[in-house]
């Protein structure tokens, strides 16, 4: 019970700090929306190309913008030895990991909502009935992304050129998730009937399974990563 | 909410179930090819102030970080407050043990964007302290250390000395059984140093253990009930009288 209270407390204080600085959310959102905006010029006159390439650009924007947030995930804790302060407090280090994943998930979801808004405008997205499926896919993908990303961000936070190493290590691990979201995109974005629930649910089931695996491995690995 | 293990009022000496606050045996810590600690055997009493002296790079801070459970040893046995802390995982799962240790290191552990009051609330929540009790305790400590008027200022606006005072408050908030201080006087003005000396005295009277690292040998030996001298990662002298004698024969620093 005490660890659950500590988890809530860690997430709450992380959010309070983020609200004051708007560091991760603002940087990620600007990066993602500008990327989408620039890409939209390439296909602005071709409706078919918009429908075909749009989803790909949407997910790539999330992939890269997410690393902007991840590279800042431990910035606050590094200053003033806060990380040591948290690790020497009576909080399970796995709980600290879960708190970081939860906060990162929240920030990324806010960024993705901005991105979705931009996508609707720039790529003429009109399949409103599919938005719930799209949000489910985004939430599932983001959870796995944060689960892997926080472990790697913890590893690379203290090394020189950590941001580059973060991407080099992160993207290969995310390949199964990327395949799942691209499969989901085929169902969510273009003109496939919603009655084909099997096609829609399969990628979501894969995402949930991958989230579970990544979170479990992260929970075990993260304390070993940050303890030294 | 059950009260934390360290909730005994400061004036009431606690019964000690263990003979030593810290007991290390064959303690080694290696950074790359260099031994920061080269096999130390040391016992720190369960009550009173224990002063650790030594020249720069002797391994004092490394030893303190291992005692404070923020660093794992390369080899050897570490027992803190009667619990073995050196085994793999013991540090990670030692929440109960960590709730009884207060640390003052060179870093403040405080978040610059938060006010002092918020920082103290943050650590009180992590320690699972009762809200009203921790607020009262924080208020008392801030008042005592002259930071009450700055409670609502972000700590990034604090001077070095104020940051040190804030760090002392943070470390005492949960009434630790073992108080670990690494150069706590550095950055403090005369008034601050006097206050810290008084608080160390109170902790000793309350029957708690204080481990103090300082470069000021005279101050350290005056405050310490017991002492040790380490150099080049090895224990060179143990006991106040022996340390004094050792330092006198080695020309003060004892670095050789």
For residue A26, count other CB atoms closer than 10 A to its CB: 16
Which of the residue ranges A185-189, A223-227, B246-250 would you say has the lowest mean pLDDT? A185-189
% chain B with pLDDT above 90:
71
Q: Could you list the residue range(s) of the whole structural domain that residue B180 is in?
A: 20-249
pLDDT over 90 (residue A89): yes
Q: How far is A101 from chain B (nearest CA, A)?
A: 18
Is residue B15 a part of any domain in this protein?
Answer: no
Is residue B1 a part of any domain in this protein?
Answer: no
Query: Residue B105's domain is classified under what CATH number?
Result: 3.40.50.300
Q: What is the pLDDT of residue A105?
A: 96
pLDDT over 70 (residue B87): no
Is residue B199 a part of any domain in this protein?
Answer: yes
Count of structural domains, chain A: 1
Is residue B130 a part of any domain in this protein?
Answer: yes
Which of the residue ranges A59-73, A141-155, B6-20, B109-123 would you say has the lowest mean pLDDT? B6-20
Q: What is the pLDDT of residue B256?
A: 43
pLDDT over 80 (residue A129): no
Whether B125 and A227 lie within 8 Å, measured CB to CB:
no
Which of the residue ranges A76-80, A97-101, B137-141 would you say has the lowest mean pLDDT? A76-80
Q: Could you list the residue range(s) of the whole structural domain that residue A216 is in?
A: 2-227
Q: Which two tokens stand for residue A112?
A: 């993705």
pLDDT over 70 (residue B122): yes
Task: Find chain A residues with C-beta within 8 A of B103's C-beta.
Answer: 88
pLDDT over 60 (residue B11): no
Q: What is the pLDDT of residue A130?
A: 79
Predicted-complex ipTM score: 0.85
Whether B95 and A91 lie within 8 Å, measured CB to CB:
yes
SS3 B8: coil
Of the two residues A107 and A79, the one the predictor is more confident about is A107
What does the mean pLDDT of chain A come to?
Answer: 86
Closest alpha carbon to A135 in A115, A151, A149, A150: A115
All residues at 6 or more sequence positions from A197 whose CB lies less than 8 Å from its CB, including other chains: none
Q: How far is CA A134 from CA A39, A101, B90, in A?
A: 20, 21, 43
Q: How far is A24 from chain B (nearest CA, A)?
A: 15
Whether B123 and A85 lie within 8 Å, measured CB to CB:
yes
pLDDT over 60 (residue B92): no
pTM, two decimal places = 0.87
Is residue B5 a part of any domain in this protein?
Answer: no
Residue with tokens 């921790």: B134
Task: Find chain A residues with C-beta within 8 A of B111's C-beta.
Answer: 13, 17, 76, 79-80, 82
Within an 8 Å CB–CB cutoff, is residue B95 touching chain A? Answer: yes
What does the mean pLDDT of chain B come to?
Answer: 87
Distance CA A96, CA A10 (A): 7
Is residue B13 a part of any domain in this protein?
Answer: no
Task: Find chain B residues with C-beta within 8 A of A154's C-beta.
Answer: none
Of the two residues A191 and B189, the one the predictor is more confident about is B189
Distance CA B3, CA A218 (A): 31
Q: What is the pLDDT of residue B9?
A: 40
A26-37 residue pLDDT tens: 999 999 999 999
Within an 8 Å CB–CB cutoff, is residue A15 touching chain B? Answer: no
Nearest to A5 among B105, B114, B128 (CB): B128
Q: What is the pLDDT of residue B10?
A: 40
Of the two residues B57 and B164, the one the predictor is more confident about is B164
Per-residue pLDDT band for A195 (boundaries 50, 70, 90) equals low
SS3 B147: coil
Q: How far is A96 from chain B (nearest CA, A)?
A: 10
Within an 8 Å CB–CB cutoff, is residue B198 touching chain A? Answer: no
Within an 8 Å CB–CB cutoff, is residue A182 touching chain B? Answer: no
Q: What is the pLDDT of residue A56?
A: 87
% chain B with pLDDT above 70:
88
pLDDT over 60 (residue B3): no
Q: What is the pLDDT of residue A191?
A: 52
- Is there a contact between A158 and A227 (Cβ–Cβ < 8 Å)? no
Of the two residues B253 and A89, the one the predictor is more confident about is A89
Distance CA B80, CA B73 (A): 13
pLDDT over 80 (residue A200): no
Q: What is the pLDDT of residue A201?
A: 73
Per-residue pLDDT band for A227 (boundaries 50, 70, 90) equals confident
Nearest to B109 among A2, A21, A82 (CB): A82
Q: What is the pLDDT of residue B7?
A: 37
Q: What is the pLDDT of residue B93?
A: 59
Per-residue pLDDT band for B104 (boundaries 50, 70, 90) equals very high
Q: Which two tokens stand for residue B213?
A: 């690292």
Q: How far is A77 from chain B (nearest CA, A)?
A: 8
Whether A80 and B96 lie within 8 Å, measured CB to CB:
no
pLDDT over 80 (residue B79): yes
pLDDT over 70 (residue B55): yes
Task: Find chain A residues with C-beta within 8 A of B95's C-beta.
Answer: 3, 90-92
Is residue B6 a part of any domain in this protein?
Answer: no
Q: How far is CA A204 from CA A188, A201, B157, in A?
A: 11, 5, 48
Whether B70 and A80 lie within 8 Å, measured CB to CB:
no
Count of structural domains, chain B: 1
A137-186 residue pLDDT tens: 899 999 999 999 999 998 887 777 777 888 888 889 999 988 888 877 76
pLDDT over 70 (residue B143): yes
pLDDT over 70 (residue B50): yes
Segment B135-145 shows an average pLDDT of 94
Residue with tokens 């997205």: A125
Q: What is the pLDDT of residue B174?
A: 94
């Amino acid at each position: 019970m005490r660890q659950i209270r500590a988890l809530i407390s860690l997430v709450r204080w992380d959010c309070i700090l983020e609200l004051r600085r708007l560091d991760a959310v603002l940087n990620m959102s600007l990066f993602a929306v500008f990327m989408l905006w620039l890409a939209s010029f390439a296909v602005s006159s071709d409706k078919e190309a918009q429908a075909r390439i749009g989803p790909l650009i949407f997910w790539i924007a999330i992939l890269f913008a997410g690393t902007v947030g991840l590279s800042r995930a431990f910035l606050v804790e590094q200053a003033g030895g806060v990380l040591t302060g948290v690790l020497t407090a009576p909080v399970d280090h796995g709980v600290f990991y879960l708190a970081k994943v939860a906060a990162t998930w929240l920030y990324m979801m806010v960024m993705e909502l901005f991105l979705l808004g931009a996508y609707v405008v720039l790529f003429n997205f009109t399949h409103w009935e599919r938005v719930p499926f799209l949000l489910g896919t985004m939430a599932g993908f983001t959870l796995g992304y944060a689960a892997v990303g926080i472990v790697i961000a913890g590893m690379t936070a203290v090394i020189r050129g950590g941001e580059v190493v973060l991407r080099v290590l992160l993207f290969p691990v995310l390949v199964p998730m990327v395949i799942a979201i691209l499969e989901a995109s085929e169902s969510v974005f273009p003109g496939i009937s919603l009655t084909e629930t099997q096609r829609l649910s399969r990628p979501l089931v894969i995402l949930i399974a991958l989230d579970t695996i990544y979170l479990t491995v992260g929970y075990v690995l993260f304390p070993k990563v940050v303890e030294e | 909410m059950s009260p934390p293990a360290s909730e005994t009022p400061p004036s009431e000496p606690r019964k000690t179930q263990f003979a030593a606050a810290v007991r290390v045996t064959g303690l080694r810590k290696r950074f790359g090819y260099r031994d920061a600690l080269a096999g130390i055997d040391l016992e720190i009493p369960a009550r009173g102030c224990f002063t650790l002296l030594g020249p720069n790079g002797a391994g004092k801070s490394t030893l303190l970080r291992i005692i404070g459970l923020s660093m794992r040893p390369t080899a050897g046995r570490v027992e803190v407050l009667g619990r073995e802390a050196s085994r793999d995982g013991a540090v990670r799962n030692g929440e109960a043990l960590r709730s009884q240790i207060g640390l003052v290191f060179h870093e403040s552990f405080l978040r610059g964007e938060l006010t002092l009051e918020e920082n103290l609330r943050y650590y009180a929540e992590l320690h699972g302290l009762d809200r009203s009790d921790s607020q009262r305790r924080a208020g008392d400590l801030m008042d005592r250390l002259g930071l009450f008027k700055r409670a609502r200022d972000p700590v990034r606006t604090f001077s070095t000395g104020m940051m040190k005072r804030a760090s002392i408050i943070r470390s005492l908030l949960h009434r630790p059984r073992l108080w670990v201080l690494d150069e706590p006087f550095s950055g403090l003005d005369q008034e601050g140093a006097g206050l810290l000396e008084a608080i160390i005295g109170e902790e000793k009277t309350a029957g708690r253990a204080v481990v103090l690292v300082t470069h000021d040998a005279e101050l350290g030996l005056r405050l310490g009930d017991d002492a040790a001298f380490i150099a080049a990662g090895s224990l060179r002298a143990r006991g106040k009288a022996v340390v004094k004698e050792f330092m006198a024969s080695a020309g003060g620093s004892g670095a050789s």
